[in-house]
Amino acid sequence: MKIAEEEADESEYFLEILQRVNRDQTLVEEFKTLLIEVNELIAILVASLKTARTNFPK
């Protein structure tokens, strides 16, 4: 799960870069939608990791 969270963070980073350099106005809303979705995914993964750490301590 930690790897998935790291990959989602990296995806968010690159989406933000692409959004900044984007010159195609037709893609503006698509970037916004993708960034919202990746942030929701990160939140789910972080919450799952916290729950797993609480329920299954080392």
Query: Model pTM?
Result: 0.88
Number of domains in the chain: 1
Tell me the mean pLDDT in the region 37-56. Answer: 96
The pLDDT of residue 21: 96
What long-range pairs does 6-13 form, CB within 8 A, spacing at least 24? 8/38, 8/41, 8/42, 8/45, 9/42, 11/38, 12/38, 12/39, 12/42
Give the range of the structural domain holding residue 16, as residue numbers without chain letter.
2-55
pLDDT band with cut points at 50, 70 and 90 for residue 57: confident
Mean pLDDT taken over the chain:
96
Mean pLDDT of the region 10-18: 97
